[in-house]
Each structure stands twice: as C-alpha cells, then as structure tokens.
Amino acid sequence: MRKIITTSLVLLIVGGLAMGCQGIGKSDYHHEASFEAKLIEEIEINNESWDIDFRRSDSPNITIACEGKRENNKSDPVTIDQEGKKIIVTQKDQGGAMAGFTFGKKGTIYISIPDHEVDLITLNNDAGDIKMKDVSAQNIVFTNHSGSETIEGLSADKGEFTSKDGELNLKDSSLNELTITSGSGDSYITGVTSPVMNITSTAGEVSVKEIEEGKRLRVETESGDIAVSYITPPASLKLTASSDSSDISIGLDGFKETQSTEQSVEGTIGDAAHTLELVSRAGTIAVK
C-alpha cells in the first residue's frame, strides 16, 4: 500500500510540473523593434535558452523580432535596448517554481541585418540553438555553452567561435580569419574560404571539407579525430601531422614525405609556401 501511495504522489507531482510548464501562468509573447542600420555599429546578444535566428535583410533597417512564451506576466523575457551605436538584446529565463523545468522550446529571437552595415556581432549563448543565413558583418564573436550552431553563407573579416559542448556547422562561408575553440562539441567546416584558420578542440571531432588552399590551417585536438579535404589539390604546402594513435593518412597529389615516424608525418608540395599543421593526442588524422 505504501508503494502505491508513493507512486501516486510522484505521478501527481510530475503531472503538476508538466501542467505548470505547458500552460499555467504562460501567455504568448511578441515584440519587435527596428533600428536604422547606418546608425548602428554593434549588436550584442545575451541569451539564456531561446533560439537565435540571424537573417540577411534587404531593408535598410536592423529588425529584431521575438516570438515565444511569457512565463511571468510581470516582466518581459526579452529586452531590446540601444546604447549609442550599440543594440543590446537580453533574454533571461523568468523565475518561479517552474523555472528549472523546460518542455519544448520557449521562444525564438529573429535578427535581420542588412549587408555590411554592422561592424561587430557578439553573442553570449547558454542553451539556445543558433542559426545564421547569408549574413555579412565585419566581425563575428560567438560564445556558446551547449546550443547547436548552424551557420551558412557568412561573410566576415574575422570570425571567432567558442563553444563548450555545442556542435558547430559552418558552411559555404568566406572569412579572412577564422578561429574556433571547442570543448566536447564537434566542428564541421564545409566549403569555407579563409586564408587563416585556427581550430582547437578538447574532445570533439574536427572535419574541414571542400576547402581551397589557404595560407595557414592549424587543427589541434586532445582526443577527437581530424579530417581535412581539398576541392583541388594544394600547389604549395608544408604539412605536419602528429597523433599518438599512430593513425595518420595523407592522400594528397604531389606530396613528398620529408620525415615519417609511427606517430608523425612531415612533407611538402611544391615550394611549401603555405602550412597545414594537424595535431591529435589520441584521434585519427586523414588528409586528402
């Protein structure tokens, strides 16, 4: 009898929590703000759990639209402020007994940006998923905890992406300098043009595919695998690859080994004007 009573109490508690998270005290939240782009130099987003969707805009204005649920009618889940030439967007999870329980997505913040109008886009993200499509800006700085990042068609001078657990997918983009720092999340870089790439990972897999030869590409991981592939064979490259796993595969046309051991390979193509440096403490390395 005691087990039946205990089970019933647990079911009542869980049911009550689910009901509270799904509807009680919640209401729809919609908010939109527009800014003349030529007057704005920087956009800063501080986000706890909502999704962020960056889009290219044909309008001369920067538009920020929020759609989601208000969990506390006494305050807004998202605030949008302007400080001089800077827009600050802040999303905070609203408090209360149900604050720690989330069923489904809470909301999305849509940010529409005209081409080449913003000098700096900064995002500090906790758990929301991030999407970016065909956006142009001078500098991009993303700091992410656990959300996934899907970025396509980005054009920027510098891009810095730091993530603890979230997966990064960067595709068909152009940057003069790209820096990626990852913890346990995987990094997939496909069709990206960047003369200088520096990718560091603790445990995640790093895949750099369908790239053109650049000035410098360096990838270092503690335990993740590394895969690099070129659209066309490099013409002038110095390559060094080392892995404690003793699993290194180099399949580049014209590659001449200058040094080879069980755990490292060095060699050149042409006059070796550019560099490819790959280091993995425990993962495999494959280049083609």
Asked if residue 19 has pLDDT above 60, the reply is no
- What is the average pLDDT across 212-219? 97
95: confidence class by pLDDT, cuts 50, 70, 90? low
Asked if residue 214 has pLDDT above 60, the reply is yes
pLDDT of residue 218: 98
Asked if residue 2 has pLDDT above 80, the reply is no
pLDDT of residue 73: 82
pLDDT of residue 100: 42
> The pTM is what?
0.88
Please check whether residue 71 is in contact with residue 26, taking contact to mean a CB–CB distance below 8 angstroms.
yes
pLDDT higher at 8 or 190: 190
Asked if residue 98 has pLDDT above 70, the reply is no
pLDDT digits (tens, 9 = 90+) for 142-174: 999 999 999 999 999 999 999 999 999 999 999
- Ranking 92-101, 165-174, 196-205, 225-234 by mean pLDDT, the lowest is 92-101
Rounded CA Rg of the chain: 23
103: confidence class by pLDDT, cuts 50, 70, 90? low
pLDDT of residue 79: 97
pLDDT of residue 192: 98
Burial (CB < 10 A; 0-12, 13-18, 19+), residue 272, is middle
Please check whether residue 66 is in contact with residue 29, taking contact to mean a CB–CB distance below 8 angstroms.
yes
Please check whether residue 159 is in contact with residue 175, taking contact to mean a CB–CB distance below 8 angstroms.
yes
Asked if residue 55 has pLDDT above 70, the reply is yes
pLDDT of residue 215: 97
pLDDT digits (tens, 9 = 90+) for 76-86: 999 999 999 99
pLDDT digits (tens, 9 = 90+) for 177-210: 999 999 999 999 999 999 999 999 999 999 999 9
pLDDT digits (tens, 9 = 90+) for 235-272: 999 999 999 988 999 999 999 999 999 999 999 999 99
Asked if residue 1 has pLDDT above 70, the reply is no
